[in-house]
């Protein structure tokens, strides 16, 4: 198995660390019935990739063999954000596997996090929904769930493209990341209905970037926020509303 090194996995402020650690513990209460978990959001810029990466790190550091699947094949931010370093310039990733150009062992990587493995997206495509509707994707998730304690899947926002719905239909549970004070309730409600239609159980909602200044454990951690216009103009306007 090849190796990949993730930079910029900085130590979090105390409040953020404890909040994510509580999330890790609560996931453990779900037992073996929820091993394939998607982390998604309603719109871009809500922090789902930040939550995905740090939850993956905490599960791995707790001794649980955990793999993070970067399934945002339209425009992944993980590779640039964490400056992933591998032996090859363009290592094979999820797109290569789903297209039949590589086997699972070829796209699964050791990382510098003990017990933490990564299945990256190193090449983007315009319409990944076609790849997600194949038996190869379903078989991949099933194979990973037999090997690892947890399979975390970072997806595109639910209200932007159809990819998230397709991925959710193949997973056991979902964590919905919501940006406090920004994401409209109507979009959150629509996301919950989408997960229900996909047959994916809602495990919980992660309220991100909460400014509770009267709380002694208050923290504000917005460095990893991002917004991109690569989904659609409709989602952009919805986010503004």
Rounded to a whole number, what is the largest CA-CA distance in the chain? 54
Q: What is the pTM of this model?
A: 0.84
Query: Is residue 48 in a domain?
Result: yes
Q: Other C-beta atoms within 10 Å of 167: how many? A: 28
What are 102-159's pLDDT values in tens digits? 999 999 999 999 999 999 988 788 889 899 999 999 999 999 999 999 999 999 999 8
Tell whether 2 is covered by a domain. Answer: no
Which residue carries 């707790």 as its tokens? 62
Q: Would you state the structure tokens that stand for residue 217, as one six-digit string?
A: 């454990």
200 occurs within a structural domain: yes
Give pLDDT, residue 83: 59
Model confidence band, residue 211 (pLDDT cutoffs 50, 70, 90): low
The residue range of the domain holding 113 is 13-240
Give the domain CATH number at 199: 3.40.50.300
Per residue in 37-51, pLDDT (tens digit) is: 999 999 988 889 889
pLDDT above 70 covers a percentage of the chain that reads 82
Is residue 4 a part of any domain in this protein?
Answer: no
Read off the pLDDT of each residue in 181-199 and give the average, rounded to a whole number: 93
Is residue 5 a part of any domain in this protein?
no
Does 3 map to a domain? no
Residue 83 domain-assigned (yes or no): yes
For residue 118, the model assigns a pLDDT of 94
- Does 79 map to a domain? yes
What pairs with residue 201 in β-bridges?
Answer: 173
Angle (CA) 128 24 92, round 5°: 30
Number of domains in the chain: 1
pLDDT at 225: 32
């Amino acid at each position: 198995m090849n190796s990949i090194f993730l930079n910029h996995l900085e130590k979090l402020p105390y409040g953020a660390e404890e909040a994510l650690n509580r999330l890790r513990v609560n996931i453990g209460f779900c037992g073996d019935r929820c091993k394939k978990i998607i982390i998604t959001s309603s719109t871009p810029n809500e922090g789902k990739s930040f939550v995905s990466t740090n939850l993956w790190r905490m599960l791995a550091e707790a001794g649980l063999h955990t793999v993070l699947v970067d399934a945002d094949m339209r425009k992944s931010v993980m590779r640039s954000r964490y400056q992933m370093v591998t032996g090859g310039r363009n290592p094979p990733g999820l797109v290569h596997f789903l297209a039949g150009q590589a086997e699972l062992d070829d796209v699964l990587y050791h990382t510098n996090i003990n017990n933490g493995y990564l299945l990256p997206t190193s090449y983007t495509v315009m319409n990944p929904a076609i790849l997600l509707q194949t038996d190869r994707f379903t078989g991949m998730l099933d194979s990973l769930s037999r090997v690892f304690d947890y399979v975390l899947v970072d997806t595109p926002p639910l209200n932007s493209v159809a990819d998230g719905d397709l991925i959710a239909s193949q997973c056991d549970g979902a964590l919905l990341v919501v940006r406090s004070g920004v994401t409209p309730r109507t979009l959150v409600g629509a996301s919950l209905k989408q997960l229900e239609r996909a047959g994916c159980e809602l495990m919980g909602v992660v309220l991100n970037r909460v400014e509770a200044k009267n709380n002694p454990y208050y923290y504000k951690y917005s460095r990893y926020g991002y917004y991109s216009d690569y989904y659609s103009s409709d989602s952009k306007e919805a986010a503004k509303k």
